[in-house]
Structure 1
């Protein structure tokens, strides 16, 4: 069945595209399968991953690339074998992952850990589908992909609020539930930014006993307290913070990706048996640390990657119930180049969302 619409978007053609040099062009999506959904995009969040990819920071990008993996819109074409009960006209979204092997003999996919599939994963952009076609993201008009990774958006969540949750939100939420954040737990969130503001709000929604936001300066202290933190550490300004707060936390989720972060001192904040989870993805290596800091307190250092479809649904439902709201700034889709420049300059406070106004206006008719 031929579609009455075409796929167009903001494409990065080389490393210079990250400096606000995206170009609007047509592209060819993957061939439509009966498990697929086409989404008419109304909103797409901007993630730091977009900038890393555009400038080939994590490795050579597959130019031309259309980034954007925090997508919300309307399902306009639905295959006969779709999952999750998606129907034409539903408000749906997709996050950073669009595919995995989904084989019944895959240890991860059969255990609802598709985000850790070791056989085949497909990123929402800058990746390849099993047939070899390229995946394209959400800085555009339409998106096509596998329905297993498409989610209905709860009515209580506005689209611009929900879109950044599909990568930024779940990246912070997933390690919290993996490592038992809830009543009786004391949690620290390193970094009050795009990921960190979700970490603070999610930990608050999970009713942790103590919630500490950790940043370099006090410039975001008022925001963090408003988001739900009941304590704040400014590592560049608070004298002897690592000693004053020693052994006070059960879990730390680190959303920053600086090779200069004081990792060894973060570890001092953990209690015996505590866990440090890295979710910020640096282009460089993380700092070294002394092995005795792990051995003396049985500390675990681990990582977490986005979240599984099951966790995404759980997050959306919880955030809708608890009224967890993204702190976002909206830009028209036509201003995508200015938006990525502002994102790089730290002006998000705390997420930037592109609004495809022509589609949004159509949905109101």
Structure 2
């Protein structure tokens, strides 16, 4: 830019002072950009230069005025790119978005990242610990650290954020104790029959998919009518969380239950399961998850179980526990839709798992659930 043009631009552009942070700022197209601290740049000279860099489409040379909101937006933009490229799934993206919301509530959107201290992260961890158990707490701490590390790696901030010694994930010992405190996290055969007996057509089919195919909450919520081949009794359905393809042989009982759901389907959606108010189960509840978790509580109550302690996802744990009795862990993982470790060379070379192995896996669970009834 010529010197005369630069001088004219500087005269025409006015910066404001953001009182809460003490930073020079400029609002442009609905977005507020932050620059230097007023006490360090009293005339706004360096801040104005930074604004002209942004206006010209370049990243400002000095980034001391980056706020928590700015850092989060840049991080989420990177996650959106990965989502659109198919590198992460929508569930993972939604978790990252939730992490940003947690940061905003504790640290404040307009707080300058350069001013964050270990005490701020100690407070953030305390806030999270009041709301989440050890496993979820550890997950959110990892996501938050990823956000601020990205800010440094991407050149948004000049030095790494210091999290302090207390902003760490709960220890393995704490997690083990928490799991032991929660108690039993699967269902025995009699309990599964109790659940089925207390269920209408929708929940009967969903429970059977959970216990014979390892379906989780989002799996049943997002299952589409067209994916179920009732003639062959097979279901080809990638797991929503990992995108791993799954090919699952269905029990006759499961096929019949799904047929009953299809026959009474109200239409208006491609989703197989629709609630009594005409909404599918993908609709978000107030905590940001799908509606399966809350809607399953009345089923537990009707079956005589406490509403707290176990949920629909425990059916997935039940399948894993019982299916392993077949001795073919590879087939169990294939039905569960688990992603393989990068160091697992066998998984890299394995191209498929035969239908007969998949069939033996689900038959093992069928025998556990129904053999006692057949013999009685």
- Provide the TM-score with structure 2 as the length reference: 0.30
- Larger RCO: 1 or 2 (CA < 8 Å, sep 6+): 1
Going by fraction, where is helix more abundant, 1 or 2? Answer: 2
Higher relative strand content: 1
Quick check: which has more Rg, 1 or 2? Answer: 2
TM-score, with normalisation over the residues of structure 1?
0.31
